[in-house]
Amino acid sequence: MATINGVKAGELTVHNAFGAAFVGGLVAGALDIAFAAVLFRVSAERVFQSVAAGLMGREAAVAGGMETAAIGAAAHFFISFVAAAIYVLASTPFPILLRRAVMGGLVFGVCVWAVMNLLVVPNSMAKPAPIAWPTTPIMIAGHMLFFGLPIALITRAFAVRR
C-alpha cells in the first residue's frame, strides 16, 4: 500500500469533526478578515460591512455602522464554518486531504475563492469587484494561504490513526 509522509492510504480519520470544523472555520475566518483589512487598508468593521453588502446592498451596509458590521461578521463566520465543515467531511472519502494537507488546503483555498467570487458575490446584492491585476492574484493567494491552508492543517491536526 502506498504511503505519503509515512501515512498509509485510509489510515487517518478526523477524530472530532465538529471541533475541526469549528476551530478551522474560526481561524480561517479571522485570518481572512485580517488579510482583507491589511490588503485594502480598511478596518475590520469596513470589511464586515462589505460582507453584509451581499445581503442588503453596499449603501445600506455602510450606512448601518456597527450593526451591519455585526451582520457581516455573522455571515462571514457562517460561511467559514460551512467551508471548514465541507473540507472535514470531504476528508473521509478522500483521505489524501489529510495526508497531503498542505496541497489540499492550497487547492481548497482556490476553490473557495472561485465559488465566492464567481458564483456567490455575483448573485448577491453586492456589486462584484472586477477581476483585475494585481488584486485578483493577491486575493487568490490570500485564500490559499490564509483560508484553505489553515482549514486543512487544523483538520489534519484533528486526525488520528485508525
Domain presence at residue 31: yes
User: What confidence tier does 127 reach under pLDDT thresholds 50, 70, 90?
Assistant: confident
Domain presence at residue 1: no
- Greatest C-alpha distance within the chain: 59
Q: What is the mean pLDDT of residues 37-52?
A: 97
pLDDT at 1 over 70: no
Domain presence at residue 9: no
- Residue carrying C-alpha cell 491536526: 157
pLDDT of 137 reads 95
Domain presence at residue 100: yes
Measured between alpha carbons, how far is 61 from 98 in angstroms, rounded to an integer?
A: 39
Total of domains in the chain: 1
**pTM of this structure:** 0.90
Domain presence at residue 88: yes
Domain presence at residue 84: yes
pLDDT of 9 reads 55
Domain presence at residue 69: yes
Summarised one tens digit per residue, pLDDT across range 88-111 is: 999 999 999 999 999 999 999 999
User: What confidence tier does 3 reach under pLDDT thresholds 50, 70, 90?
Assistant: low
pLDDT of 131 reads 80
Q: Which residues contact 108 (CB under 8 A, 6 or more apart)?
A: 83, 87, 97, 148, 151, 152
Residue (of 34, 38, 76) closest to 54 by Cα position: 76
Q: How far is CA 140 from the centre of its chain?
A: 11
Domain presence at residue 5: no
Could you tell me the residue range of the domain that residue 31 belongs to?
16-161
